[in-house]
Chain A
């Protein structure tokens, strides 16, 4: 059976939750930055665009994104998707990350004003 866009997105979400650490920084604002930047750069890489990496921060986000996309070669269906579908799926993926780890998170430390 063909995978739907949502099931593809869920597969990638499971992969990130199991294997990555960048999405778990300890404050909400920090998680927003991580999700935003790393997913944006991963999307650009999947769509053969060139992500910005001229500042140390951008380069760090890019290294995380590039490693992730390289590991995702284990999902052969990913390279067959159109850029439009990829962007749509990655947008949903970011929403899921934000929802589970920020907006609906039960982690009471996320909004602590100090680190």
Chain B
């Protein structure tokens, strides 16, 4: 597989080792992009900082916690609410963000006092919340404030509160990925093992590396509960602080985003002997395999099978309606980390999309191994691209859609390439069987939206016809497909509700009597 040289990056020769063209005859041992390295000076990267990776990706989805950044307000404010990690407690963690608001005088005289005042003020302002996470930033790290000592003082004065400290300042790693690592290890070191949970099932898991973007966690939790599995904790979407202190009592760690959370699974495996099982929650086939594997582990594969049958029957005709209209559409799959491999093969197999490029901003070489293995030959794989490389790739590959974050997404829009939000989603959740149909629906809407055609019209010089411009998505999508498909009575568009999560909250689940300890777990 040859390394790929971008015209725009010829002046940055180190970049050549960060991109590869996948060829049919070669494999990963012939070429693999470098990854998880410091951004090369001169290349304008789109990464986040290590504080951001720790706080905004992993810490903040915890729902019953005051999340306080010890630093200038911009660190927390500028990225507040950019992810839609909702929760079933009225989104406390999304509604409020807290910062100690460090100023120049604190840099000179220290900010421990202001931090302590802030912690107490925050707990008093929200008396029903008794848990807090404090995140170090560049400023508080550089002046050496002892955050742990301050937190300890507060915990002694307020015995009903508990505080977690995450020391992952912005500079602690090449990208947000450094922060993922730090908060994983800090949590397992400082908090796991402190709470003994009530075990209510013979089958107990931690669901790890899942952040409840628009309800993903709640969709998967629904399947687990229907199988009679107790989800002891979720790390961390819709997760509860005290549940996560009890992670050591699970029988199995079910790992979704290995990029951000394999560390804690690996540690729990080493320290407590809990096995790690990597799964895919997206796509009918991979999700069915994942539920079956979990079912097999616990000896309840029949329960998994019943869910797969019911859900497939309900949603497959809707997925197929979109798949029939998406065949051959070209996609640049450019998410931040794990979605490049969660989605690369299955959007091709189940929706007929051609993945012409995969990239990762903060992934490691392991993510590229997975992504390159899963995409088809011909795809261009790029590690940590800069904006010019992204543009060059789009001009060359001419995708019908890019699936990415909002920063590169806005760049794509400027050159009239439709974009779908891979990080916060457009109209998720995208996990689960129904979620996968919602994803297909969003892809369809993006690819065929008539707005993109109109956007190509230059009103300063093009003639604008006033009688021919009425089009709908379906007029565009159906003109070249088999009439038998168009007129099919079986296939139809998405018929789920606008909010697919509401029905899951307060749902009653079957009771499976506990038989006692499983022999094998």
Contacts and interface: CB of A to CB of B under 8 A. Distances in A.
Nearest to B33: A106
Interface core residue of A21, A24, A54 (most chain B CB under 10 Å) = A21
Contacts of B197: none
Contact of B289 (A18, A57, A67, A109): A67
A109 B364 CA distance: 8
Interface residues of A, number: 34
Contacts of B274: 56
B29 interface: yes
B520 A106 contact: no
A81 interface: no
Contacts of A109: 36, 364-366
Contacts of B275: 56-57, 59-60
A99 B252 contact: no
A27 B5 CA distance: 29
B278 interface: yes
A64 B519 contact: no
B29 A106 contact: yes
Interface string B195-214: 00000000000000000000
Interface in B24-75: 27-29, 31-32, 34, 36
Interface in B250-298: 251-252, 258, 262-263, 266-267, 273-280, 286, 289, 292-294, 296-297
Q: Is the interface of A mostly helix, strand, loop or mixed?
A: helix
B252 A60 contact: yes
B370 interface: yes
B415 interface: no
A105 B29 contact: yes
Interface residues of B, number: 41
Given A54-B519, A56-B252, A71-B289, A106 B296 contact: no
Contacts of B521: 56, 59
Given A106-B31, A106-B32, A24 B370 contact: yes
B4 to A, nearest CB: 15
A100 B29 contact: yes
B22 interface: no
A57 B29 contact: no
Contact of B370 (A21, A53, A60, A104): A21
Contacts of A18: 345, 373-374
B162 interface: no
B297 A106 contact: no
B369 interface: yes
Contacts of B369: 24, 101, 105, 107
A53 B299 CA distance: 12
Given A67-B292, A105-B28, A105-B29, A60 B297 contact: yes
B267 A115 contact: yes
Interface string B362-377: 0011100110011000
A108 interface: yes
Given A26-B366, A106-B29, A106-B365, A17 B373 contact: yes
Contact of B277 (A17, A60, A66, A100): A60
Contact of A19 (B28, B36, B252, B289): B289
A72 to B, nearest CB: 12
Contact of B520 (A26, A30, A55): A55
A63 interface: yes
Contact of A107 (B32, B258, B294): B32
Interface core residue of B258, B263, B275 (most chain A CB under 10 Å) = B275
Contacts of A54: 519-520
Contacts of A60: 252, 275-277, 297
Given A67-B292, A101-B28, A115-B266, 5 more contacts: A19-B286, A21-B278, A57-B275, A60-B252, A64-B293
23 contacts: A17-B373, A18-B345, A21-B279, A24-B366, A24-B369, A53-B520, A55-B520, A56-B275, A58-B520, A59-B520, A60-B276, A62-B296, A63-B296, A63-B297, A67-B296, A100-B27, A101-B28, A105-B32, A107-B32, A107-B366, A109-B36, A109-B364, A115-B263
Interface of B: 27-29, 31-32, 34, 36, 251-252, 258, 262-263, 266-267, 273-280, 286, 289, 292-294, 296-297, 341, 345, 364-366, 369-370, 373-374, 519-521
